[in-house]
Amino acid sequence: MNVKKILLSLTLTLLLGLGLISCRGGEIPTLPPPGIPYKIELVPENYVGTLSGRPGRTSFVVVFSPKIIKDGEFTFETINGRVLSYIENPLQPSQRNERSFIVFAEVSPGFRIRVKAGATEKEWSFPIREIPKCRWRKAIPSLVYYKYASTPSEEFKKIVDFGIKFWNLLNGITFIEGEGSPDLPLFIFYDVGSGGGWGQYNCRVCNVEIPSEPVPLVFSSSAHEIGHSLGLYHSPAEEGPKALMSGSVETTECGTGYGESAEWAWFVNPSRLD
């Protein structure tokens, strides 16, 4: 073998060893693209908190942009608490280039959450922030029976089911369809079509009126009105304008007067449920 052949053989061996020649005809493989630099936000960042000496349940929203992010492309890491579950936010404005999720978490003092997506990660520490309970029930029930005032449409049932799912994920409340027991709450759901909803206070048998109009806000209205019959008045000012239960001022001196936020009305401070 002459010198030229030896050099050619060594060159081919080196190129193959570096993976620069493939078995498919000499293609040069490209490296995978770097992670997408997502923007990550927590809503409402200025109002989240924990109880002072014990675990509590809370809900908030995490927003990713651009909205090309898919399930499984982001992670939650926590200290002094845990993410219980998350669901996609049904109130996302279609004209915005973002995707958001309602996150349900159990938090203790010193809670921190780190969110990772693509090439980006953000971390937030939750301060101790206890607020007035503003409740008419001494304790939020753990079991509720419910029925419909009349045969529900599939659309109305879907709306009610979302409100039920929200409270089940947030506070572990079990909802069973049926008459139940005279010792347990019974919610009766009324389809009021379009317009506002209403959740009855101070009741064992509670009428819960929920609109069924085909707009995203009805999902927030469902969780809001169920929240009233579970025991919550409208939010105190300390819970902020992005709270699920924000609304008119109450005679009990609770209530913010903010009115419900059509986009981010999913926050519940742990003190409200304690």
pLDDT in tens, 19-73: 433 333 333 343 344 577 899 999 999 999 999 989 999 999 999 999 888 888 8
**Token pair of 216, please?**
């995203």
Identify the three-state secondary structure at position 86. strand
Distance CA 225, CA 195 (A): 13
pTM summary value = 0.85
Ranges 21-30, 88-97, 106-115, 206-215: which has the least confidence: 21-30
- In tens, the pLDDT along 165-218 reads 999 999 999 999 999 889 999 999 999 998 889 999 999 999 999 999 988 889
Q: What does the radius of gyration of the chain's CA atoms come to, in whole angstroms?
A: 26
| In contact, 66 and 38? CB cutoff 8 Å | yes
Q: Where are the beta strands (DSSP E) in 185-265?
A: 186-191, 198-199, 205-210
Q: State the greatest distance between any 2 C-alpha atoms of the chain, in Å, as a whole number.
A: 100
Cβ atoms 141, 171 nearer than 8 A: no
Name residue 66's amino acid: P
Domains of the chain: 39-125 (2.60.40), 143-273 (3.40.390.10)
Tokens 């742990």 found at: 270
The amino acid that residue 62 corresponds to is: V
What is the spatial distance between Cα 249 and Cα 234, in angstroms, rounded to a whole number?
7
- For residue 2, pLDDT beyond 80: no
Q: Using alpha carbons only, give the angle 165, 167, 171 rounded to the nearest 5 degrees.
A: 125
